[in-house]
Amino acid sequence: MINEHNEQVGVIETREALRMAEEAGLDLVEIQADVRPPLCKIMDYGKYRFELSKKQKGQNAGKASELKEVRLGRSIKIDDHDVQIRVNQARKFLMEGHKVLLVQNFRGREMAHREIGEQRMKEVCEQLADIAKPDGFPKLAGRRMNVVLMPDKTKIEAAKRAIAKEKAAAEKAKAAEKGEANMPQQKPAPEPEAQGVESRE
């Protein structure tokens, strides 16, 4: 047992522990039930519940999905390699359960060719369709066109399982290949020597 001063008291009977808690004007709280004897502590139970609830809310807030912004370049003049880098970045965020805000910027006279940016965003959405879906159509706001991609939890879990399966298969193949490489090479059995045949004349 742990007393109200956070000191280890040792193993004592329940009746004695309750008496000590009552004298201190506090509660006897079981904080670890999976050990024998169970671990208890003398404390203010109401305060304990409040602190526990506060901690859990903080953890849940930390796990909440965030809106991650991925910009498809500063203008529509961006090569395919750079677009693919942005796609991979968006995929990483989506796999982590975050929403992704895809942004296509337009500079100067590029506003006259908005269809180029719209087509690019459509292609990016198609590349990520295996784990996400767009929340509506691309919208133009000033010189920015954007769309929000929502992670699809079911598809993401399926993708994670497929990745894990491929990784396991690759590791298994690598281990088998390594095992074969370490096996001693067997030398071929020597061929029997040809016996001389006496010629008969």
Structural domain boundaries in the chain: 14-59, 67-154
Report, as an integer, the average pLDDT of 34-56. Answer: 81
pLDDT tens string 109-122: 888 888 998 899 99
Please report which confidence band the pLDDT of residue 58 belongs to, taking 50, 70 and 90 as the band edges: low
Please report which confidence band the pLDDT of residue 39 belongs to, taking 50, 70 and 90 as the band edges: confident
Q: 41: buried, middle or exposed (CB in 10 Å: 19+, 13-18, 0-12)?
A: buried
**pLDDT > 70 in the chain, percent:** 84
- Which two tokens mark 166? 């491929």
Instruction: Inform me whether the pLDDT recorded for 68 exceeds 90.
Output: yes
Is 143 within 8 Å of 155 (Cβ atoms)?
Answer: no
Question: Can you give 68-79 as a three-state secondary structure string?
Answer: EEEECCCCCCCC
The CATH number, out of the four listed (3.20.20.70, 3.40.50.300, 3.30.70.980, 3.30.110.10), of the domain defined by the range 67-154: 3.30.110.10
Q: What is the CATH number of domain 14-59?
A: 3.10.20.80
Please report which confidence band the pLDDT of residue 131 belongs to, taking 50, 70 and 90 as the band edges: very high
Residue with more model confidence, 39 or 93: 93
